[in-house]
Amino acid sequence: MAGRLLKVSSLATVVFSSSGFYLYNRQLDLSDLSVIRFGRAAAATAVISYDYLTAFRHVEYGTEEYWTLKSKLSELFVSFEENPQGAASLAQVHKAVLHDGRTVAVKVQHPKVQRQSSKDIMVIEVLIKAVNWLFPDFAFMWLVEEAKKNMPLELDFLNEGHNAEKVAKMLSHFPFLKVPMINWDLSTKRILTMEFLEGGQVNDREYMKKHCINVNEISENLGKMYSEMIFIHGFVHCDPHPGNVLVRKCPQSQKTEIVLLDHGLYQVLQPDFRMDYCRLWMSLIKGDLSRVERYSRRLGAGDLYPLFACMLTARSWNAVTAGISSVPVTHAEDVEIRTNAALYLPQISDLLNRVPRQMLLLVKTNDLLRGIETTLQTRASSSSFINMSRCCIRAVARHKRSKTQSRRRHLQITLAESLSLWKLSVYELLLWVKGSMMTRWLSALLCWK
């Protein structure tokens, strides 16, 4: 009985902490469908902790209200795994099976995280002000401003569900992308129930080898996804750490898929900012320094534009001046970058204070994606630059068409876009032929030996 009480207490508590009402504050009308829906969502967790138990104290054990609530909660799942599939600072995810046979992932926000997060931000703000007072060169107030803006969005799981649906529709032309479908009937602001999708983390090379997943294909497809999000749509998933990006073989088709999870943190890019950022990357790929300077300054970097270019690309200034697509990454260059990052910390702090706030999450996203590419050993590959260039060309052409009413001008822009894309495809084909010839030459050489 004690074990049953512990489980019911943990389940029922989520009704209180996650659905926004307390049973002791109002009469529980079980004919109210919204209450039943919240109750269903509430049965999402079985974490037995002090916080959950103390919240349950408001429903007296053995009362009619207690047994009615328990009866409703027991209707939710055929099975529910008490041990979470994953846990983080804001929430944890449990695997469950509904009565219709569907397997779902149930993401449950930790109790008290709403109140605690605001206190944490306040403490961070005080500490950063103190550091800034002691060391005026280190100005990190942008960190507090971003936390204040983004934390409420990350704590609203309904917002996360809407983001997931939006990006799934936006990138529906990519057959390799899987975004979990949301079960809205079992979701609230603090509980999100979604399709359960399994896979290995995107940086797990052993998993990919075991399941015959092509590392280069994964890296290329990940680049395609993010190039579309950033340059074409301006709606960017900003937390692509390996735990949120899974890879797998589709159980039905056996084709390789990328599973994108955790849609709480997105950055919406304004059109003018997106175009400047797009043109900056085109200039970085080509090594056009005058345009690198022009668009870096337009994005707020000022005289620190060389540092800005190096931060965005994680390349040395020598590589930037030569064109990042034509210079391979070396170990010596990585060491140089790490050394300079420590030396130029005050300038980096100044730069992050200068640039538009939209840039901050993009910088973080770039770093996470580069980390994945480094692990997969696909960093600075020609295919990633080609896909990025292709999206930039399309984005610029679309923007130009939106600014003109002339049919003749529309046609000119479309023809110029088609020509640029054709040149890029020819270049890609030549690289493929060159690579194939090199492969055959090496194979013949090895056979001869």
Instruction: Give residue limits of the domains in the chain.
Output: 173-184+198-268, 271-438
- Give yes or no for a contact between 269 and 358, defined as CB atoms under 8 angstroms apart: yes
Tens digits of per-residue pLDDT, 188-215? Answer: 888 888 999 999 999 999 999 999 999 9
Q: Is residue 174 pLDDT above 90, yes or no?
A: yes
Counting Cβ atoms within 10 Å, is residue 443 exposed (0-12), middle (13-18) or buried (19+)? exposed
Q: Quick one: how far is CA 111 from the chain centroid?
A: 24
* Stronger pLDDT, 245 or 251, i.e. the higher one: 245
Element (H, E) at 10: helix 2-19
Given a cut of 90, is residue 58 above it in pLDDT?
no
171 vs 58: which has the higher pLDDT = 171
For residue 4, is pLDDT > 50? no
pLDDT of residue 123: 80
Name the DSSP letter for residue 182.
Answer: B
DSSP 285-341: HHT-HHHHHHHHHHTT-GGGHHHHHHHHHT--HHHHHH-TTTS---HHHHHHHHHHH
Q: Is the pLDDT of residue 1 over 80?
A: no
- Contact between 84 and 92 under an 8 Å Cβ cutoff? The reply is yes
Residue 120 annotated as catalytic: no
Catalytic residue (choose from 32, 100, 239, 262) = 239
Once rounded to an integer, what is the mean pLDDT over residues 339-346?
82
Q: Which stretch of 30-39, 167-176, 185-194, 354-363 has the lowest confidence by average pLDDT?
A: 30-39
Angle, helix 141-155 to helix 357-376, in steps of 10 degrees: 80
Strand, helix or coil for residue 48: coil
Q: What is the pLDDT of residue 378?
A: 79
Are 57 and 80 in contact, with CB atoms under 8 Å apart? no
Is residue 281 a contact partner of residue 392, using CB atoms and an 8 Å limit?
Answer: yes
Residue 290 pLDDT level (bands cut at 50, 70, 90): very high
Q: 41 pLDDT exceeds 90?
A: no
Does residue 73 have a pLDDT over 80? no
Per-residue pLDDT reduced to its tens digit, 250-259: 888 889 999 9
Residue 117: enclosing H or E segment and its boundaries?
helix 113-134
At 275 the pLDDT is 94
Q: Crossing angle of helices 2-19/33-42, nearest 10°? A: 120
pLDDT of amino acid 51: 32
| Whole-number pLDDT of residue 180 | 96
Tell me the mean pLDDT in the region 242-270.
92
Q: Per residue in 358-394, pLDDT tens?
A: 898 898 888 888 888 888 887 766 677 888 888 888 9
Q: Is the pLDDT of residue 64 over 70?
A: no
* 346 — pLDDT class (breaks 50, 70, 90): confident
On the question of pLDDT at 182 being above 80, the answer is: yes
Tokens read off for 363? 């910088």
pLDDT average, residue stretch 158-166? 95
Q: What pLDDT is recorded for position 53?
A: 32
Q: Is 440 helix (H, G, I), strand (E, B) or coil?
A: helix
Give the pLDDT confidence of 86-98 residue by residue, as tens digits: 777 678 888 888 8
Higher local confidence (pLDDT), 169 or 332: 169
- Please report, rounded to a whole number, the percentage of residues in the chain having pLDDT higher than 70: 77
Higher pLDDT, 142 or 30: 142
pTM: 0.77
